[in-house]
């Protein structure tokens, strides 16, 4: 029951992040670059709750973007889904006390997201100047995202810890 509540809560947070990303953070952008909050939520759900939840979270957040800003529906959903799934692989070595792994995973996810976006949306249309796009779009976005994750990640962690405490209790009750 608590687990379902948390799922609903995470969906709500993702929805809220999507709204903020399209409105408020566009006004708070530095040099036209705004952070990618949905990567933070997708990645966090992935390594906190495992592959299945991660891929579902990615699918939902990608679909939000697709409906509003995608040229075709499914591209971002696919991309975010794989990011969530791959991060789910790390749920076995994730400990709530450790902040290094989450930050490293968020960085890596956003970088690879940027590179894949560049390849699919730009390289295939013959825009070959990769260094420009890397240093002007991908890297600034990653840095900004990391800064934002310092604020957003503890919120997600707080809800996760509450769930986990309840889960452990119910397990011991059974045994």
Q: Can you give the binding site for another protein, defined by CB under 8 A?
A: 18-24, 26-27, 32-34, 36, 38, 50-52, 55-56, 59, 64-65, 67-69, 71-75, 77-78, 81-82, 85, 88, 117, 121-122, 125, 127, 129, 132-133, 136-137, 141
CB of 61 to another protein, least distance (A): 10
CB of 132 to another protein, least distance (A): 6
Measured CA to CA, the distance from residue 99 to residue 160 in angstroms comes to: 14
Residue position matching structure tokens 């759900």: 45
CB of 22 to another protein, least distance (A): 4
Pick 147 or 165: Cβ nearer another protein: 147
| Residue of 22, 42, 19 lying closest to 34 (CA atoms) | 22
With contact defined as beta carbons under 8 Å apart, do 58 and 82 qualify? yes
Pick 30 or 158: Cβ nearer another protein: 30
Length of the chain: 175
* The two three-digit tokens of residue 136, written as one number: 């002007």
Pick 23 or 172: Cβ nearer another protein: 23
Pick 71 or 173: Cβ nearer another protein: 71
With contact defined as beta carbons under 8 Å apart, do 84 and 39 qualify? no
Element counts in the chain: helices (H) and strands (E): 8, 0
């Amino acid at each position: 029951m608590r687990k379902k509540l948390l799922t609903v809560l995470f969906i709500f947070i993702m929805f809220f992040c999507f709204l903020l990303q399209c409105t408020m953070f566009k006004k708070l952008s530095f040099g036209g670059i705004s952070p990618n909050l949905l990567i933070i939520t997708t990645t966090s759900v992935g390594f906190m709750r495992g592959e299945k939840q991660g891929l579902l979270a990615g699918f939902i957040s990608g679909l939000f973007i697709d409906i509003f800003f995608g040229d075709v529906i499914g591209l971002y959903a696919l991309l975010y889904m794989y990011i969530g799934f791959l991060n789910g692989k790390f749920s076995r070595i994730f400990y709530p006390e450790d902040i290094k792994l989450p930050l490293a995973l968020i960085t890596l996810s956003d970088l690879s997201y940027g590179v894949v976006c560049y390849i699919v949306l730009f390289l295939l249309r013959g825009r070959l100047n990769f260094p420009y796009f890397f240093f002007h779009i991908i890297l600034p976005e990653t840095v900004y995202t990391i800064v934002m994750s310092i604020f957003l990640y503890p919120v997600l962690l707080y809800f996760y810890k509450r769930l986990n405490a309840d889960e452990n209790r119910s397990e011991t009750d059974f045994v």
